[in-house]
Structure 1
Amino acid sequence: MEELDQDRLSSLAKIILHCILSKLPEKDATRTSVLSKAWLDTWYTFPILSFSTSKFMGMSPLQPMEDSEKMRKMLGFCDYVKKTILRFRDQSLTIKEFKLHVNSELGHISKEDVDIWIKLACECGVEVIDYSQYIPVGRCRYHVLPICAIEAKSITKLVLKGYIKIDPTFINHSFMFTSLRVLSLQQVLLGDQHAIDQLISFCPLIESITLRCCFVIGSGDGTMEKLKSLSISGIQKLESVDVVGINDVSIDAPSLETLCYSPNYFAAPFKIDFDRCKNLKELCMLYVTTSTFLTEQFPKFPFLEILKLSYCKMSERINISSVRLKVLELSNCSNLKEVNIDAPNLLSFGYIGHGASEPTISFLRNSSQLEVNIGIHVDYVYLCNLRKFMQNIKPNNVLTSLALSISNMSNVDAFDPVASHVSFTPTSIKHLTISHFPENKYLFSSVVKILLASCCPETISLRVINSGGKEFIEFFYEMLMRRKEGECFCSFHDTKCWWHDLKDVKVTMKMDENVDFKTFLESLDLAPYESISFRLDF
């Protein structure tokens, strides 16, 4: 029966089989060539070509290899790439995607070879060129992108990453990117500060632009400097912009829906003007000062549905009001003490904090479908603040999950966390995840007391990352298994903790649900980052 199903699958039209391959991971797609003659032919004509020196040579830059062996393998790689592309050209087959990832630390590939490969791909009507080049530190050798990549009318997506240079003569070329929809440049070298504006103006159909940490040749001594400014206007179809490392940005694109922006951290003043992007739906900002943004600019975008702020300098108190907002994320934003959210259609709120105290978070109006996910990295001595923070999320029934990373940087002795108690019932949540633990085993009991006094979870997942993880998991497991014999975790004599209502505990290991706990512990030495979950039945 299985052979019959396989034959039916093999008999499908080649265009359907190519579509199936495109959905598979690259390694699995390659393996299909051994299934049958039909699949082998499908693989030989698969129009997505991906070449990587690291994968071909089967090594990482840290693995030692003789220079002669490197040379032999690199020559084999170059021969393989050229023969593959020539086969497509000679058989008049179309190449939809040409991906080339070169790691020059593994061996040198001449720029002439790369130029020929790109030229052959363009002759086969390539639609996507994805070219990245890694050069070891101290060897600033840029490869000038061949002009055929500019002239090819078939290209809809151009992705360049690493030590690649776009020559100024290309940008002054009279030909336009008549079909280009997606342009992504990361750590690419441009001719001057105005080169990128001119390049984009040659792309009338561009829909997505990504510029990350690009450089230009300085007008003075010719040394490299960071791209300082970006001005985008007159692009009617532009939907997405992702900019990193440019401090002066101006965007006038009425059709823009997604904007991600990060200047050069907080090192220099930045200016971003996107007020005319009235149809913006998603905004992500990193390393910016947003003291006036939420009060002055946020109301200008009535259709905003997703707002993500990371590592931003905030006001102590922020108010966010929107009937369209569906996703809100605040990650490692400093100064925050109070967050008031009036978003009745909000579906997801995420907060990540790092420090001794966290803000009060209030949802003035909220959807019944709202899920609140909190992640905190905290030192053990401040863990006793967790319970108050949990209770300061209003209303407390919206909290879905809590992810904790607990360190012990101060190396203090264990103390009773209930000493600085707050008289509240533990907050009910669905998931509690802990991925880092104090290495001092004398702190384990105090950590558990704080956690169980702070929240009442349906599931608890522990993941081993540091050396103390294995011992903590063993401690926690034994504590749960002998819960009827051990002490409870009530904070007060007149308040009964959920420990008393716990009826059963189900344990599952990520590696294998049927493995016993002892085997799981032994495996942690060989398989770090494994996790164990406890489902609590009340």
Structure 2
Amino acid sequence: MVDILPEHLIHKILWYLNFDEEAAKTRFLSKTWLQAWFTCPNLKFEIGYGEDNNYGKIDKIMERYRERKIPIEKFALSVFAYYYHSLDFQLIDKWLGIALQNGVKVLVDFFYVLSYPLPISTFLTSKSLRELVVTGCDLMDLSLSTSQVDNCHSLRKLSLTNVRLDDNLLQSLLACCPLIIDFIIVNCHLLRNIELRNLQSIKSVSISINVHLIQSVKIQAPTLEHFSYTGCLRGESHVLDIIECQNLKSLKLSHMKISEGFLRHLISTFQFLESLILYNVCGELENFNICGSESLKVLGIQSCKGICFKFVIT
């Protein structure tokens, strides 16, 4: 029965397996599965703790893809390590380079050792890369040249979680990929002022902060349709400024302090706002009238202290 499955479905099954261990065993099922395993465009590897870290197996597979020029569409690498010396950064760079050479479109990297210097400038020269999802690495020792801007137009999604980068590097990175549609940034601790401007095609932005060192977040994006923001209730409140986002359709705010004036500004400014979700926000809003919004269809309020809305039906 397994032989009658189409190749694309077999490739999808292989994606949910550990490619160098579980997925490798499937090649013994039949010639169909053997061929699918040898040419699978989706690769996912995990490097574990300690000495048994699968470097040899992974390197052998990646060499085969390089030598035979087998296309790679999606590449995911998860690295777990207790100690710096247990990682071979040169090998990791090599595998990522092979994925880029073979036309990877989606690159997902989870590094549980923050010291890994991700070669981000190499990724931004790719003509095929459409999604870059990175968790846990260091960008601070790298520089982005403005000459690379013309080479980054393929990227549509950029997600950064627990990545070491500062305000200047973030601005340089965004300038290198002006056509991104989806941007996610989560708990990048060196940032102090997050500013998003001049993103010509941006549709969705998600920002999450769990430290109180952020001073301001400014969004200026006329094409923005979906914005999610998770702040930090500890320490001083910072400035959240959303301007020139006239096409905003959904807004989710959580873990932050808001004022009646701020919320009234949101309701009155975004004339196409259809969904407003407030989760664990606090503020002195004893009675707030939301009847000024004609487009609002969904209103969600959960775990919010000191907020009581007044609904008026006309």
> TM-score if structure 2 supplies the norm length?
0.85
| Aligned counterpart, 1:44 | 38
Kept in 2, the 8 Å contact 1:247–1:272? The answer is: no
CA distance in 2, matches of 1:131, 1:279: 32
Q: Pick from 265, 268, 280: which aligns with 1:299?
A: 268
What residue in structure 2 maps to residue 281 of structure 1?
249
1:336-379 CA distance string (max 9 Å, x none):
3x33345xxxxxxxxxxxxxxxxxxxxx58xxxxxxxxxxxxxx
Matched residues in 2 for 1:210 and 1:183: separation? 6
Aligned residues of 1:294 and 1:319 also touching (Cα < 8 A): no
**Residue 239, structure 1, aligned to residue 203, structure 2:** yes
Code of the residue aligned with 1:228 in structure 2: it is R
Residues 1:154 and 2:128 are matched in the alignment: yes
In structure 2, relative to structure 1, the CA distance for the partners of 1:330 and 1:172 (3 Å cut) is same
Give 1:317 deviation, angstroms.
2.3
Tell me the equivalent position of 2:192. 228
Partner residue in 2 for 1:163 = 137
1:339 to 287, 309, 313: 309
Conservation of the 8 A alpha-carbon contact between 1:182 and 1:207: yes
- 1:84 and 2:61 correspond: yes
Q: What is the rounded CA distance, in whole Å, between the counterparts of 1:33 and 1:254 in structure 2?
A: 50
Q: Residue 278 of structure 2: which of 309, 320, 336 is its match?
A: 309
Tell me, yes or no, if the aligned pair for 1:316 and 1:335 is still in contact at 8 Å: yes
Does 1:17 find its partner at 2:9?
yes
Q: Deviations over 1:187-233 (max 9, x none)?
A: 1112x422211210111211111111113xxxxxxxxxx31112222
Question: Which residue of the partner structure matches residue 181 of structure 1?
Answer: 156
1:77-133 deviation digits (Å, cap 9, x = unpaired)? 111211121211222111111111111128822211211111111111112221121
CA change 1:26–1:280 in 2 (3 A) is farther
- Taking the TM superposition and a 5 Å limit, the aligned residue runs for 1:406-421 are none
Q: What's 2:47 paired with?
A: 53
Aligned match for 1:324, one of 295, 302, 307: 295
Tell me if structure 1 keeps the 8 A contact 2:106–2:131: yes
Give the number of the structure with larger relative contact order, counting CA–CA contacts within 8 Å between residues 6 or more apart: 2
Partner of 1:202: 176
Change (3 A) 1:264 1:289: closer
1:326, 1:82 → 2: CA distance? 52
Report sequence identity in percent.
Answer: 29
User: How many residues get paired?
Assistant: 300
Structure 1 runs not aligned, ≥5 long: 58-69, 136-140, 216-225, 343-363, 366-538
Alignment of 1:526-537 (within 5 A): none
1:239 positional shift: 0.5
Paired residue for 2:225? 257
How large is the Cα RMSD of the aligned pairs?
A: 2.6
Change (3 A) 1:295 1:238: same
- Code of the residue aligned with 1:289 in structure 2: it is K
Look up the SS of the partner of 2:40 in the other structure. Answer: coil
Write out aligned runs for 1:205-220 (5 A): 205-215=179-189
The answer to whether the Cα contact below 8 Å between 1:145 and 1:166 also exists between their aligned partners in 2 is no
Partners in 1 of 2:125 and 2:58 — Cα distance?
A: 22
Equivalent residue for 1:105?
82
Distance 2:268 2:10 in 1: 47
Q: 1:290: Cα distance to partner?
A: 2.2
CA offset at residue 37 of structure 1? 2.0
Kept in 2: contact 1:247–1:264 (CA 8 A): no
Determine if contact 1:318/1:340 at 8 Å carries over to the other structure. Answer: yes
Structure 1 residue 304: Cα displacement = 1.5
CA distance in 2, matches of 1:269, 1:20: 45
CA distance in 1 between counterparts of 2:11 and 2:92 reads 28
Q: Which amino acid aligns with 1:240?
A: S
Quote how far apart the aligned CAs of 1:276 are: 0.9
CA distance, structure 2, for counterparts of residue 210 and residue 87 of structure 1: 34
Distance 2:146 2:86 in 1: 30
Q: Confirm whether residue 193 of structure 1 aligns to residue 193 of structure 2.
A: no
**Is the 1:261–1:285 contact (alpha carbons within 8 Å) kept by the matching residues of 2?**
yes
Cα 1:163–1:236 change in 2 (3 A) is closer
Q: For the residues of structure 2 that align with 1:103 and 1:94, how far apart are their CA atoms?
A: 27
Q: 1:105 to 1:293 in 2, by over 3 A?
A: same
Partner of 2:71: 94
1:477 corresponds in structure 2 to none
Question: Are 2:225 and 2:247, in contact at CA under 8 Å, matched by a contact in 1?
Answer: yes
The one of 133, 151, 155 equivalent to 2:111 is 133
Deviations 1:121-178 (A, max 9, x none): 111111222112113xxxxx61111242232222111111113325342x23521222
1:124 and 2:102 aligned: yes
* Residue matched to 2:235: 267
Residues 25, 167 of structure 1: alpha-carbon distance in 2 compared, 3 angstrom cutoff: same
Within 5 Å, give how 1:66-77 maps onto structure 2: 70-71=50-51, 73-74=52-53, 77=54
* Aligned-partner residue type, residue 114 of structure 1: I
Consecutive unaligned residues of structure 2, counting only runs of 5 or more, are: none
